[in-house]
Amino acid sequence: MRIAVLLRDRCQPKKCSHECYKYCPRVRMGDETIVLGKKGIPEISEILCVGCGICIHKCPFDAIKIINLAEELEKEIVHQFSENGFRLFRLPTPQEGKVIGLLGPNGIGKTTVINILSGNQVPNLGSFEAEGNWDTVLERYAGTEMFNYFSKLANETIRPALKPQYVDKLPRVISGTVSELLHGVDGEKNADELIERLDLDRIRTRELKKLSGGELQRVAIAATVLKDADIYFFDEPSSYLDIYQRLNVSKVIQELSREKQVIVIEHDLAILDFLSESVYLMYGSEGAYGVVAQPRSARNAINTYLGGFLEKENIRFRNYAITFEVKPPRREWPAGPMLEFPELTKKFPSFSLSTGKGTVHYGEVIGMVGPNATGKTTFVEMLAGKLEPDTGKVPQELELAYKPQYITIEHDCSVREYIYIELGSEAESGFYRAQVEGPLAMNKLYNKNVGDLSGGELQRVALAATLGKSADIYLLDEPSAYLDSNQRMEAAKVVRRVVEKSSSSALVVDHDVYFIDLIADSLMVFTGKPSSLGIALGPFDLRTGMNRFLKNLDVTFRRDKETHRPRVNKNDSRLDREQKSSGEFYYA
C-alpha cells in the first residue's frame, strides 16, 4: 500500500515552480499522477503514482511524502483528513481500572485519537469525501471490543471530559476566579478537597488570567477531574509543573482511574512510567500517518521507545537507542572556571533569595531543579550582571541569552524572518547552521508564520533564537515544554554541543528528570517557599545534587534492569526505604 501525503502547512504553490508536477515522470509521460488543483495545490493520485520519489526531492519546501505501508494496514484505517491528508490507523481500547498512556512523536495523531474517542470527530474510515457516519463505524467494528464503546458514543451515553494540551489559552475562553470555575463544574465531587490536594488554596480567589502556567495546569486538571464523566482524557498534564506537582497530579489521576476510564498523553517518561499501567506506542511519519501499536506494560513500552525499535511490529523509528548512565560520568574542566561567585542575596518586597557560593565552568551545563517560583531567574540575572545583588558581588559582567518559560512572539512574520530579527547576520554563520539550525530541523519551520506554530514548534524556534546568539551564559527555562520525548533528547544534545563548542555555559531549568539526566553536568538545587523565599545551593556534581534535590521531594529512583533508566520507587517500598536510609536517592 502506497500513500502520497501533501503537508499542507509546508506547501507554498505561490513560491515554487510546481516542481512536483514538472518533474513527475508519469506526468511527463502524459498521465494525471499529479494535477494542480485549487490555487496550484498539487493533488497526487496514489493509484497512478509509481513511487519513484522524485517529487519528494524536487519540492523546495519538503512538502511531499510518498510512503510504502504494510498491506494489512489498509483494512485498519480509522480516519483520513483529505485526499493527500494525514491518516490514522488503529485505535487504543479504553479500559476501566487503569491509566492508559499514549506515547509517540508530535504530529503522529495522538490528538486525533482523543478527538475520536471523545466523540468530537466521527471517524470516516478513510472515506474523506464525506463526514464520518456512526452506522458505518458500527458496522466496521461489529464483533470487536470497540463496538460497545462506539455504540455508546453514537448514542451519547458516554460522557467524556478532556484536559486540553494548551492550558495557556484557557483564560481567553474562561473568565472568573479559580474558586468560581471549580465550584461551578457540574458534578458531585468535592471541589474543596481537590483544591486542597492540588495546592490551589492560596489562589482560590485569583482570576484565571492572573495565573502562572503551572497554576493554570493544576486548575485545568482539577476542573476535568471534578466533571461527572465516564472517560477522562489528559493531554500533557505535566507541562509547567515541577516534579513534586507532577507526581501529585499523577496520584490524583490514578485514583480517578480506579472507577473511570482514563487516557493520558505524556512526554515526561519518568512520569508516564509512574502514572500509567498500559501504554500504546504510536509510530508513523509526522503529519503523514500514524499507527497505534499493540498495548504494552508501561515499563515495556518505555523501554521499547528508548530502544527505538518495535520488535513485534518490526519497525525501527530511531537509529540509535537512548541510554542512561548508572553512575554519573566524571567531568574534567580543562578550560577552567568561567565564573566563581560568592554567597549572594536579593530581596524584593514579597520575595527573597539567598545562594551559596559556587563555580560555573566553560562548557558546563548546569541543571536548575526545585519548585517553581523559588528564584531561578533572579539568580541567573544576578550571575549575568543584569540584576545587582543586595549582598555579595559577581566579579564580571557576562553576556546572557535567555529563553523564558512562556514564549510569546510579538512579530507577525515567517519563522525565517523572526530568526533574522533575533540573530541578524549570525543566522548565516556556520556555527548556527551546523549546531542549531540542522539539529533542530529549523528548515521545516522557516516558511511557517510564527502565529501558526504548535507549542512544540514554538519551543524549537525559541531555542534556536536563543542558542543561535553568541553568549557566555544561556538561561533556558523549561526547554522541554511541549516537545515530544524524542525532541527532548535531541534538544538536550543540541544544548550540550552548543555549550561545548562555544565554550559558554548553560543553566537549564527543567522538571523532566530524564531530560535533566541527559543534559546536565551538575545541578543547582533550589528550595524554599514558592513566591516568598528561595534558597539556592550548588552547583553540585550530579550525585550530590540529585540526592539533595530528591531528598527534599522524598522521592527515590531505582534502575530498570534492562535499560538502566531511572524509575520512580513506590513510596515506602523496600527499595525506597533502603535507598532513603543509605542516602542514595538516584544513583543507587
Query: From CA 384, how far away is CA 386, in angstroms rounded?
Result: 6
Partner whose footprint covers residue 66, from ligand SF4, ligand ADP, none (CB < 5 to 8 Å by kind): ligand SF4
Residues 74-103 that bind ligand ADP (CB under 6 A): 81, 85-86
| Sign of the CA dihedral with 46 first, then 50, 55, and 56 last | positive
Query: From CA 365, how far away is CA 545, in angstroms rounded?
Result: 13
Shortest distance (Å) from residue 289 CB to ligand SF4: 16
Nearer to ligand ADP, 109 or 389 (CB): 109
Query: From CA 466, how far away is CA 418, in angstroms rounded?
Result: 12
Shortest distance (Å) from residue 425 CB to ligand SF4: 37
Shortest distance (Å) from residue 88 CB to ligand ADP: 7
Residue 166 interacts with ligand ADP (CB under 6 A): yes or no = no
Partner whose footprint covers residue 203, from ligand SF4, ligand ADP, none (CB < 5 to 8 Å by kind): none
Strands 77-80 and 566-568: unpaired
Specify whether the CB–CB gap between 91 and 114 falls below 8 A.
Answer: no
Q: How long a stretch of residues is the chain?
A: 588
Q: Which of 107, 123, 160, 439 binds ligand ADP (CB under 6 A)?
A: 107
Query: From CA 265, how far away is CA 114, in angstroms rounded?
Result: 9
Percentages helix, strand, coil for the chain, rounded to the nearest 5?
35, 20, 40
Binding track over 240-279 against ligand ADP, x by CB under 6 A: ----------------------------------------
Question: Residue 275: which of 243, 306, 305 has the closest Cα?
Answer: 243
Binding track over 278-307 against ligand ADP, x by CB under 6 A: ---------x--------------------
Give the phi and the psi of residue 359 in degrees, each rounded to 5. -130, 135
Count, residues near ligand SF4 per rule CB under 6 A: 13
Residue 49 interacts with ligand SF4 (CB under 6 A): yes or no = yes
Query: From CA 103, how far away is CA 109, in angstroms rounded?
Result: 10
Residue 50 interacts with ligand SF4 (CB under 6 A): yes or no = yes
Shortest distance (Å) from residue 484 CB to ligand ADP: 8
Angle of helix 243-257 relative to helix 542-553, nearest 10 degrees, comes to 50
Q: Which of 33, 80, 84, 106 binds ligand ADP (CB under 6 A)?
A: 106
Query: From CA 474, how far away is CA 401, in angstroms rounded?
Result: 5
Residue 113 interacts with ligand SF4 (CB under 6 A): yes or no = no
Query: From CA 452, how far away is CA 413, in angstroms rounded?
Result: 10
Residue 44 interacts with ligand SF4 (CB under 6 A): yes or no = yes
Residue 54 interacts with ligand SF4 (CB under 6 A): yes or no = yes
Query: From CA 540, how far away is CA 544, in angstroms rounded?
Result: 6
Nearer to ligand SF4, 52 or 553 (CB): 52
Specify whether the CB–CB gap between 414 and 446 falls below 8 A.
Answer: yes
Q: Which of 80, 84, 111, 303 binds ligand ADP (CB under 6 A)?
A: 111
Residues 33-71: b if buried by 16+ CB within 10 A, e if exposed? bbeeeeeebbbbeeeebeeeebbbebbebebbbbbebee
Partner whose footprint covers residue 33, from ligand ADP, ligand SF4, none (CB < 5 to 8 Å by kind): ligand SF4
Q: Which of 10, 65, 90, 110 binds ligand ADP (CB under 6 A)?
A: 110
- The 3-class secondary structure across 484-515, one letter per residue, is CHHHHHHHHHHHHHHHHHCCCEEEEECCCHHH
Nearer to ligand SF4, 37 or 184 (CB): 37
Count, residues near ligand ADP per rule CB under 6 A: 11
Residues 266-285 that bind ligand SF4 (CB under 6 A): none
Partner whose footprint covers residue 421, from ligand SF4, ligand ADP, none (CB < 5 to 8 Å by kind): none
Shortest distance (Å) from residue 106 CB to ligand ADP: 4
Specify whether the CB–CB gap between 27 and 43 falls below 8 A.
Answer: no
Partner whose footprint covers residue 110, from ligand ADP, ligand SF4, none (CB < 5 to 8 Å by kind): ligand ADP
Q: Which of 13, 92, 101, 109 binds ligand ADP (CB under 6 A)?
A: 109
Residue 33 interacts with ligand SF4 (CB under 6 A): yes or no = yes
Shortest distance (Å) from residue 61 CB to ligand SF4: 15
Nearer to ligand ADP, 86 or 526 (CB): 86
Give every CB contact of residue 577 below 8 A, 6+ residues apart in sequence: none
Shortest distance (Å) from residue 112 CB to ligand ADP: 3
Q: Which of 5, 6, 24, 463 binds ligand SF4 (CB under 6 A)?
A: 24
Give the phi and the psi of residue 303 in degrees, each rounded to 5. -60, -45
Give every CB contact of residue 492 below 8 A, 6+ residues apart in sequence: 515, 518, 519
Residues lying near ligand ADP in the complex (CB under 6 A): 81, 85-86, 106-112, 287
Residues lying near ligand SF4 in the complex (CB under 6 A): 24, 26, 33-34, 44, 49-55, 66
